C-alpha cells in the first residue's frame, strides 16, 4: 500500500487520496465492523450502497476534524474533544439514539436501556458510554491515526483545499438531515427540546475545549522509554477487547470507564516520550480497530436467524483491517527507538 510521499514531497493527488481513504475507513469502522445490523450484514451490494449515506455521515466529519486540527494547530486533545462533540451531535441530535428508549428494528432496545436508565435525563448509562466513546474512538480518532501514518511529512499538515472542505461540509449536512428525517419517519422516540438543547450545549463545550486546551503548547518530551509499536498493539488490543466484552449493566459501565481511563492514562504517558512516534499512534488505533472487527463475529453468532454471508463479511473486514493496521505501522515515520537508538 503506497500512499505516502515521493522524493519531492506528496502530490496534490496523493493528499486527496489520503482524505478519500479516511473518508471510507471512518464509516466502515463506525458501522460495518461490528456487523450489528442484520438487514445489511453479509450483503455486499447493500454494504457498498450504504456508503453513499454513511460515508458523508462519518467520513466527512472525520476528514473535516482532521483538517481543522491541521489548520489550527490542534494536537490530540483537540481532536478527541472535537470527536466527542461530533458524537454528542450524532447520537443526541441527528439519530437521537442517545435519548431513545425504543428504536425501530431493535426489539431488545428497551430492555437494555432500562438496565442503566437515568430517568431525570432519559439516558441509558450503558448506551451513553457506548455511543459517545464509540464515536470518539472508532468513528473519528482511530481512523485518523491510521490514515495519518501514511503522511510522512513532519507534523500535521492539510490534505485538502477550501473547495474540498466545503463539499465535505455540505455532504455531511445533507446526510445528517436525511438520517434525522428517516428516524423521525420510522417512529423512533423523539428527543425533547430540553434534551436537544443539552446535547448542543455539551457539544459546544467540547468544541471550546478543543480550541483552548486542544491548542495549548504540550510539555517538553520526556526521556521515558515506551514499548515498541508491536508491543503497544498487543497491550492496547487486550484493553480494547476487554472493553468490547463489558455487559450493558452499571457494573459494565464502571468497568468500561475504568478500562478507558487506565488505557488513556498509560497511552498519554507513553506519548510524552521522545521515543513515541506515528507508528505507536497507528498501533494504538489499530488495536482498537482489530478489537472492534472481532466483535463482528460475536454479533453474527448471536443474531437469530444468522445473516447469510455474515461470517464472510467479518473475515474480509478483519483481514482488511489487519492489512491496513500493519501497513500504517510500517509507513509511519520511524523514531530513534525504531531505528535501534536509545
Chain centroid to Cα 151, Å, comes to 19
**Most distant CA atoms of the chain, gap in Å:** 60
CA distances from 37 to 29, 104, 166 (A): 14, 12, 31
Position 152 scores a pLDDT of 82
Position 6 scores a pLDDT of 46
Mean pLDDT of the 310-332 span? 93
Judge whether residue 314 has pLDDT over 50: yes
Mean pLDDT of the 17-31 span? 97
Give pLDDT tens digits for 148-184. Answer: 999 988 889 999 999 999 999 999 999 999 999 988 7
C-alpha cell at 231: 508491543
C-alpha cell at 60: 466527512
Q: Cα separation of 291 and 297, whole Å? A: 11
Q: Cα separation of 49 and 32, whole Å? A: 12
Is the separation of the CB atoms in 70 and 158 below 8 Å? yes
Peptide bond into 305 cis (omega under 30): yes
Give 239 or 277, the one with higher predicted confidence. 239
Query: Per the confidence metrics, is the pTM higher than 0.75?
Result: yes
Amino acid at each position: 500500500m503506497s500512499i505516502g510521499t515521493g522524493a519531492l514531497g506528496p502530490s496534490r493527488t496523493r493528499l486527496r487520496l489520503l482524505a478519500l481513504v479516511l473518508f471510507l475507513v471512518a464509516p466502515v469502522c463506525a458501522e460495518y465492523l461490528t456487523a450489528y445490523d442484520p438487514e445489511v450484514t453479509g450483503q455486499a451490494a447493500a454494504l457498498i450502497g450504504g456508503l453513499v449515506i454513511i460515508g458523508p455521515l462519518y467520513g466527512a466529519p472525520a476528514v473535516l476534524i482532521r483538517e481543522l486540527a491541521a489548520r489550527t494547530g490542534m494536537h490530540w486533545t483537540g481532536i478527541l474533544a472535537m470527536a466527542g462533540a461530533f458524537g454528542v451531535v450524532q447520537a443526541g441530535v441527528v439519530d437521537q439514539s442517545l435519548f431513545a428508549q425504543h428504536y425501530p428494528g431493535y426489539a431488545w432496545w428497551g430492555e437494555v436501556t432500562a438496565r442503566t436508565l437515568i430517568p431525570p435525563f432519559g439516558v441509558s448509562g450503558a448506551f451513553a458510554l457506548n455511543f459517545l466513546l464509540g464515536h470518539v474512538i472508532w468513528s473519528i480518532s482511530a481512523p485518523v491515526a491510521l490514515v495519518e501514518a501514511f503522511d510522512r511529512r513532519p507534523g500535521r499538515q492539510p490534505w485538502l483545499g477550501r473547495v474540498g472542505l466545503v463539499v465535505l461540509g455540505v455532504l455531511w449536512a445533507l446526510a445528517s438531515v436525511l438520517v434525522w428525517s428517516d428516524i423521525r419517519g420510522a417512529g423512533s422516540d423523539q428527543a425533547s427540546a430540553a434534551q436537544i438543547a443539552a446535547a448542543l450545549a455539551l457539544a459546544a463545550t467540547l468544541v471550546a475545549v478543543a480550541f483552548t486546551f486542544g491548542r495549548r503548547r504540550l510539555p517538553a518530551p520526556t526521556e521515558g522509554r515506551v514499548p515498541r509499536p508491536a508491543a503497544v498493539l498487543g497491550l492496547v488490543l487486550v484493553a480494547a477487547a476487554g472493553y468490547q466484552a463489558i455487559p450493558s449493566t452499571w457494573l459494565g459501565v464502571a468497568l468500561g470507564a475504568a478500562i478507558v481511563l487506565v488505557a488513556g492514562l498509560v497511552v498519554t504517558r507513553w506519548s510524552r516520550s521522545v521515543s513515541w512516534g506515528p507508528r505507536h499512534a497507528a498501533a494504538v488505533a489499530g488495536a482498537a480497530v482489530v478489537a472492534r472487527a472481532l466483535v463482528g463475529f460475536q454479533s453474527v453468532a448471536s443474531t437469530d436467524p444468522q445473516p447469510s454471508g455474515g461470517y464472510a463479511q467479518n473475515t474480509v473486514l478483519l483481514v482488511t483491517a489487519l492489512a491496513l493496521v500493519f501497513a500504517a505501522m510500517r509507513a509511519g515515520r520511524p523514531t530513534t527507538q525504531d531505528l535501534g537508538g536509545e
